[in-house]
């Protein structure tokens, strides 16, 4: 028991039972290695003593040489014992190192496992947080992947160039002009490859304040010049134009009033500092007046570069109802550069009639999109050319035309029945007006015109005060009923005579002795019987009141 610490001796003595040495022999297996090593050393000494005693008794017989050999054997035994001790110590150290290494590796594994657990918890927390934020904050617009679910294509494209929209500032149009966005050209707007700080952007001014319900982005013919990301912002502040003009005067070093009256030759591109000055002055003005830019389409909505092979036309509906209100300017940001073929903003113009127009009962075209007229709903059999909303657009001559009826008789003996045929289109006026006459232009459909045209009037200011999507839903559901609930005033059908050279016809309500109350309307419906096409329809009247 020599060499064992005092505390360990006490613990060993407590473990010994009363049976004595037998119990110690049993318990040796559980002892530590250095205890077992001392026991084996004691046994070795006892054996050596037992071997030395007979040699000592026969000392007279042994010679000096035999004693020397015995000493050498003892030394060799001691050296072998010392070697064994060293080997045991080395083994103990190696075992300790292995234990330490296994413990350290286990610690490292545990640390990595804890890290992974933390990462999982953080990702779960972030997902929950993002979900809560997404529930509380609405995305300004949402992509509609199925074209059959798009419900705003009947509305007016307020960004159309012929309606007075124009670009008042653009950072670059080196390759292709930005005005192509507002036309049906196949070139579009293509910028340079940007090498300096910033991104490309432009500002478009609308002719009249407009409400936007949906956006169409077209990337056709942009295989090599498509922009990866795009965002759209809107604002209602007419004073932006003056700020841009003043900044352009400063950039072009124009100080005299005579030079200011002349048209400024706009550059094809601006560097970062020049565009930053204009952008900073606009943002300062908007912040001071409390009308900042509002994001209508987020930059991370779609990665157009990745999804270009799948589709080239995207539709977005305005999801946030607070954004369905009039806007005067639109800003389009390309990140960082590139091109886009065409952009369309579907909505309606807010008619701004002056007081003298209402008081003096000045005659206007109530059906013009600039005065707030918009197509709400149509149901036609097999349209093969044009669109019903072209009827109210004076810049679209083609109007619309339906295909020939497949169920027409081989020999026509009498006029076709009108009840089984539905080629209708419903429009809403921008104001409540009193109608005097309709004008019909068959244009290029001289040999494809319908047999007769019938107009219907509706006077309901409550429906007119609703938004376009709600009005569209009301009329769409009503037309699908067998017995419609909306009570239209059906005017007598106007039959278009055959074999005449003229293509312009007038349908005057004053000559038919309709009263002013009967001629008052907020909506009108046109129906073609049995098929055919017309180029344009005009509704002439006076403004009675505008919706609040």
The pLDDT tens digits along the chain (548 residues) read 544 444 444 344 444 444 444 444 444 444 444 445 455 555 665 555 555 544 444 444 444 555 555 555 555 555 555 555 555 555 666 666 666 666 556 566 666 666 777 777 777 766 665 555 455 556 899 999 898 999 999 999 999 988 999 999 999 999 999 999 998 877 899 999 998 888 999 999 999 999 999 999 999 888 888 898 999 999 999 999 888 888 887 877 655 555 555 555 677 888 889 899 999 999 999 999 999 999 999 988 887 777 777 788 999 999 999 999 999 999 999 999 999 999 999 999 997 766 556 666 788 999 999 999 999 999 987 888 889 999 998 888 888 998 887 777 777 766 655 545 578 999 999 999 999 999 999 988 888 888 889 999 999 999 999 999 999 999 999 999 988 899 999 999 998 887 777 788 999 999 998 999 999 999 999 999 888 899 999 999 999 866 55
Contact 384, 401 (CB under 8 A): yes
Beta bridge partners of 358: none
DSSP character string of 358-390: HHTT--EETT-GGGT-EEEEEE-S-EEEE-GGG
CB atoms within 10 A of CB 55: 13
The answer to whether residues 428 and 523 touch, using CB atoms and an 8 Å cutoff, is yes
CA separation, residue 350 to residues 141, 162, 225, 373, 472 (Å): 22, 17, 36, 9, 18
Pair type for strands 452-458 and 533-534: unpaired
- The pLDDT value recorded for residue 240 is 93
Q: How far is CA 362 from CA 163, 444, 541, 543, in A?
A: 22, 31, 8, 8
Token pair recorded at residue 67? 């004693």
The pLDDT value recorded for residue 234 is 97
Nearest to 213 by CA among 154, 300, 163: 154
CA atoms within 13 A on the CB side of 332: 27
Count the helix, strand and coil residues of the chain and give each as a percent rounded to the nearest 5.
35, 25, 35
> DSSP string spanning 326-338?
-EEEEEEEEESS-
Strands 383-386 and 400-402: antiparallel
State how far the Cα of 99 lies from the Cα of 351, in Å rounded to an integer. 86
The tokens describing 122, both together, are 């953080």
pTM, two decimals, is 0.72
Q: For residue 287, what are its two tokens?
A: 């912040």
Tokens 């036609």 correspond to: 380
Q: In what order do the strands lie in the sheet with 383-386?
A: 383-386, 400-402, 533-534
3-class secondary structure, 322? helix
With a CB cutoff of 8 Å and minimum separation 6, the contacts of 58 are none
Residue 122 confidence (pLDDT): 72
Between the alpha carbon of residue 491 and those of residues 90, 327, 494, 544, the distances in Å are 114, 37, 9, 21
Place of tokens 């759209």: 232
Helix 33-57 vs helix 64-136: angle between axes, to the nearest 10 degrees? 180
DSSP 461-514: HHHHTS-HHHHHHHHHHHHHSSS-SS--EEPPPEEPPSS-S--EEEEESTTTT-
Contact 442/503 with Cβ under 8 angstroms? yes
By DSSP bridging, strand 374-379 and strand 313-318 are unpaired
Question: Rounded to whole angstroms, how far apart are CA atoms 537 and 526?
Answer: 9
Yes or no: say if 209 and 347 are a contact pair by the CB < 8 Å rule: no
Nearest to 292 by CA among 241, 332, 235: 235
Tokens standing for residue 211: 């409400």
Q: Do 388 and 375 contact (CB within 8 A), yes or no?
A: yes
pLDDT of residue 415: 60
Evaluate whether 530 touches 450 at the Cβ level (below 8 Å): yes
Query: What are the residues facing 78 on neighbouring strands?
Result: none
The predicted structure's pLDDT at residue 338 = 92
| Burial classification of residue 180, based on how many CB atoms lie within 10 Å of its CB (0-12 exposed, 13-18 middle, 19 or more buried) | buried
Report helix angle 272-289 to 240-251, nearest 10: 150
The per-residue pLDDT for 221 is 85
SS3 191: coil
């Amino acid at each position: 028991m020599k060499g064992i610490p005092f505390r360990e001796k006490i613990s060993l003595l407590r473990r010994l039972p009363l049976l004595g040495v037998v119990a110690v022999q049993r318990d040796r297996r559980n002892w530590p290695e250095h205890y077992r090593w001392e026991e084996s050393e004691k046994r070795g000494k006892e054996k050596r003593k037992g071997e030395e005693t007979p040699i000592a008794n026969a000392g007279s017989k042994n010679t000096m040489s035999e004693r020397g050999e015995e000493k050498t054997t003892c030394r060799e035994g001691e050296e072998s014992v010392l070697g064994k001790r060293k080997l045991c110590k080395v083994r103990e150290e190696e075992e300790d190192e292995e234990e330490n290494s296994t413990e350290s590796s286990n610690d490292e594994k545990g640390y990595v496992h804890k890290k992974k657990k933390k990462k999982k918890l953080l990702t779960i927390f972030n997902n929950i947080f993002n979900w809560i934020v997404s529930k509380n904050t609405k995305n300004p617009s949402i992509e509609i992947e199925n074209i059959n679910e798009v419900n705003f294509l009947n509305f007016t494209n307020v960004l159309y160039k012929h309606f007075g929209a124009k670009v008042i500032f653009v950072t670059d149009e080196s390759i292709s002009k930005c005005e192509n966005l507002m036309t049906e050209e196949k070139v579009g707007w293509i910028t340079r490859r940007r090498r300096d700080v910033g991104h490309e952007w432009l500002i478009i001014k609308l002719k009249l304040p407009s409400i936007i319900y949906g956006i169409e982005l077209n990337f056709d013919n942009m295989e090599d010049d498509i922009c990866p990301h795009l965002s759209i912002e809107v604002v209602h502040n007419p004073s932006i134009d003056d700020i841009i003009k003043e900044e352009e005067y400063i950039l072009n070093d124009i100080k005299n009033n005579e030079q200011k009256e002349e048209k400024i030759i706009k550059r094809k591109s601006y560097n970062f500092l020049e565009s930053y000055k204009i952008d900073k002055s606009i943002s300062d003005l908007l912040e001071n007046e409390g009308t900042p830019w509002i994001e209508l389409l987020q930059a991370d909505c779609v990665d157009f570069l990745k999804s270009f092979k799948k589709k080239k036309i995207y539709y977005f509906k305005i999801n946030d109802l607070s954004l369905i209100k009039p806007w005067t300017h639109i800003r389009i940001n390309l990140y960082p550069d590139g091109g886009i073929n065409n952009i369309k903003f579907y909505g309606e113009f807010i008619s701004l009639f002056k007081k003298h127009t209402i008081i003096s009962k000045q005659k206007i075209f109530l059906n013009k999109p600039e005065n707030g007229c918009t197509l709400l709903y149509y149901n036609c059999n097999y349209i093969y050319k044009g669109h019903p909303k072209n009827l109210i657009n004076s810049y679209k001559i083609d109007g619309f035309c339906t295909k020939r009826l497949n169920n027409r008789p081989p020999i026509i003996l009498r006029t076709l029945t009108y009840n089984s045929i539905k080629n209708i289109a419903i429009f809403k006026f921008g104001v409540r007006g009193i109608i005097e006459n309709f004008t019909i232009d068959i244009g290029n459909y001289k040999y494809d015109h319908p047999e007769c045209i019938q107009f219907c009037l509706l006077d309901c200011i409550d429906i007119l005060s609703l938004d376009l999507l709600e009005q569209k839903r009301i009329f769409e559901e009503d037309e699908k009923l067998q017995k419609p609930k909306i009570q239209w005033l059906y005017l007598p059908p106007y039959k278009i005579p055959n074999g005449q050279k003229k293509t312009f016809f007038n349908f005057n309500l004053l000559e038919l002795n309709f009263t002013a109350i009967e001629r008052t309307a907020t909506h009108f419906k046109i129906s073609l019987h049995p098929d055919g096409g017309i180029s344009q329809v005009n509704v002439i009247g006076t403004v009675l009141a505008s919706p609040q």
